[in-house]
């Protein structure tokens, strides 16, 4: 219950989960080799590495991967504990599922990369849905489901339970899920219930499986939990406690902020011992934004070191660029409406040139043309849009880079190693970026992308 609020009658309280704003955020599980698993998921499944962090003082690392940004997609959180190379998955955890337009093609791609296919693609028994099963390097099973299109490719988490009706009631009452589908297959001696917050082709669902006569399973130490969002962890926690008294389970963490992070959570076990963590919606988004800002700052710092190695003429650019990214969020998104305000933000008479300069320097530091999009094309496109506000133009240039961009080092590419660029990269970046900021394509003298407007490098082409 929210701090300071009066007790809510249980009849009203139990309606809260259905009114709350909830979705599946991520599943957490442990792996024996983080880099190996990242490579497998990105190359075989087509996931993107969204973020990665190392916590040496606590001797673990983790990585978040998925098919879209964490703000709107269900993702996996992989945890690697220093020195632990394998885990026991147990008999209770079933599988994850990925929806794909062509299961047959995906299986062949995975096979070509050395993946372990445990069930060849084909229709399910007694049905028409095409599926396949793949085992990842740590032994986790992934079901591949053929669907024409889906907004959420990472679409299922399957867990085995000892009493299906009890589990359905628990997830309905404690977590506000709805029973999306229930199937009984007596010929195969099992039943399943799909639980979620929308139809199974629209979002991630929890697939609860009951095998006739089996009431207990081993949990192992590999799979950890699933995280779900909530607008009020205190009220949600009170509901969970109420339902646990009726159906069983255990609260493992009372509602409140995590020390050092301040993200409010609560966690509990269902009647079968499966763990769920409820995470405050607003705090979760703040945590993601903090990561993005930190990531951008690190990128700038690294590129600055590269440039410093190439030429001392870039030294004076480092503080400006870092300050640009580290400006407090409540100030950064307020477009300077006067020269005076611009000077407050960046210590200069403008702001567009600093933004363009930072991206251009990153391009010459890494050889990656993703940065040119932020320095030029994206900026000019926003300027061309008559409905775009000054704030929108500012945001467009400030928006990148972020963790969704391909920021690989491309300095070995042929087009970058030509003497006209490579021999002067440390000096050329600030020279080019110090030209005028981008202008509209409708300008009298045509569009200006802030890159070499006097034509010094007009014969240098950046095509691969």
pLDDT-derived band of residue 127, with 50, 70 and 90 as boundaries? Answer: confident
Give the domain ranges of the chain: 10-280, 311-433
Catalytic residue check, 199: no
The token duo for 215 is: 């009431």
For residue 401, is the peptide bond before it cis, meaning its omega torsion is within 30 degrees of 0?
yes
Give the dihedral of Cα atoms 372, 422, 324, 315; nearest 10 deg.
-170
The whole-number average pLDDT for the span 257-273 is 92
Full strand arrangement of the beta sheet holding 223-230: 48-55, 60-66, 75-81, 24-30, 223-230, 275-280, 264-269, 250-257
Q: Is 95 annotated as a binding residue?
A: yes
Contact 430, 314 (CB under 8 A): yes
Q: What is the pLDDT of residues 381-427, one digit of tens each?
A: 544 554 444 444 334 334 444 444 454 555 555 545 444 444 444 43
Report pLDDT for 24. Answer: 98
For the chain, give the longest Cα–Cα distance: 79
Q: What is the mean pLDDT of residues 419-438?
A: 41
CA–CA separation, 234 vs 230, rounded Å? 10
Q: 6-16: per-residue pLDDT in tens? A: 454 477 888 99
What is the tens place of the pLDDT at every residue in 203-240? 999 999 999 999 999 999 999 999 999 999 999 999 99
Region for 132 from its dihedrals, namely left if φ exceeds 0, alpha if ψ lies in -120 to 50, beta otherwise: beta
Q: Which run of H or E residues covers position 323?
A: helix 317-326
> Which tens digits make up the pLDDT trace of 22-53?
999 999 999 999 999 999 999 999 998 888 88
pLDDT of res. 441: 46
Query: Model's pTM, two decimal places?
Result: 0.66
What is the number of alpha carbons within 13 Å of residue 211 lying toward its C-beta? 11
Which of 12, 120, 143, 282 is labelled catalytic? Answer: 143
Which residues are paired to 132 by β-bridges?
A: 144
Q: How confident is the model at residue 349 (pLDDT cuts 50, 70, 90)?
A: very low
Query: Does CATH number 3.10.180.10 belong to domain 10-280?
Result: yes
Q: How confident is the model at residue 282 (pLDDT cuts 50, 70, 90)?
A: very high
Is residue 418 part of an annotated ligand binding site? no
Token pair 């929108």 in the structure block, residue = 392
Residue 77 assigned as binding residue: yes
167, exposed or middle or buried, with CB in 10 Å at 0-12, 13-18, 19+?
buried
Mean pLDDT of the chain: 74
Residue 320 Cα distances to 142, 255, 325, 327, angstroms: 47, 42, 9, 11
């Amino acid at each position: 219950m929210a701090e300071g609020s009066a007790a809510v009658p249980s009849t009203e309280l139990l309606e809260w989960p259905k009114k709350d704003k909830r979705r599946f955020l991520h599943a957490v599980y442990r792996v024996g080799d983080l880099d190996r698993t990242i490579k497998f998921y990105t190359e075989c499944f087509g996931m993107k590495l969204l973020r990665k962090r190392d916590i040496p003082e606590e001797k673990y690392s983790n990585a978040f991967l998925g098919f879209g940004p964490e703000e709107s997609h269900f993702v996996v959180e992989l945890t690697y504990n220093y020195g632990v190379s394998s885990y026991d998955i147990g008999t209770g955890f079933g599988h994850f599922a990925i929806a794909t337009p062509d299961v047959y093609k995906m299986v062949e791609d995975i096979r070509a990369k050395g993946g372990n296919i445990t069930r060849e693609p084909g229709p399910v028994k007694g049905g028409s849905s095409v599926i396949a099963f793949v085992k990842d390097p740590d032994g986790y099973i992934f079901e591949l489901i053929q669907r024409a299109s889906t907004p959420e490719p990472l679409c299922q988490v399957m867990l085995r339970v000892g009493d299906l009706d009890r589990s359905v009631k628990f997830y309905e009452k404690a977590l506000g899920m709805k029973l999306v589908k229930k199937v009984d297959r007596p010929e195969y001696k099992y039943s399943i219930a799909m639980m979620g917050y929308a139809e199974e082709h629209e979002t991630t669902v929890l697939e609860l499986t009951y095998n006739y006569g089996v009431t207990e399973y081993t949990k192992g130490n590999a799979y950890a939990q699933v995280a779900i969002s909530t607008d009020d962890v205190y009220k949600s926690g009170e509901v969970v406690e109420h339902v646990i008294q009726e159906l069983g389970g255990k609260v493992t963490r009372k509602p409140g902020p995590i020390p050092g992070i301040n993200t409010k959570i609560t966690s509990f076990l269902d009647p079968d011992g499966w763990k769920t963590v409820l995470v405050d919606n607003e705090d979760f988004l703040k945590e993601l934004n903090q990561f993005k800002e930190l990531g951008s700052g690190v990128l700038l710092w690294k590129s600055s070191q590269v440039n410093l190695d190439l030429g001392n003429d870039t030294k004076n650019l480092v503080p400006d660029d870092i300050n640009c990214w580290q400006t407090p969020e409540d100030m950064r998104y307020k477009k300077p409406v006067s020269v005076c305000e611009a000077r407050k933000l960046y210590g200069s008479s403008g702001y567009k040139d600093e933004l363009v300069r930072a991206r251009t320097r990153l391009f010459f530091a890494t050889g990656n043309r993703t940065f040119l999009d932020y320095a030029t094309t994206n900026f000019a496109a926003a300027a061309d849009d008559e409905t775009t506000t000054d704030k929108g133009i500012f945001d467009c240039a400030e928006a990148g880079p972020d963790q969704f961009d391909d920021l690989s080092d491309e300095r070995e590419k042929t087009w970058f190693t030509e003497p006209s660029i490579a021999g002067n990269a440390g000096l050329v970046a600030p020279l080019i970026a110090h030209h005028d900021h981008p202008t509209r394509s409708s300008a009298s003298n045509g569009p200006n992308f802030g890159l070499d407007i006097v034509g010094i490098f007009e014969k240098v082409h950046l095509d691969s």
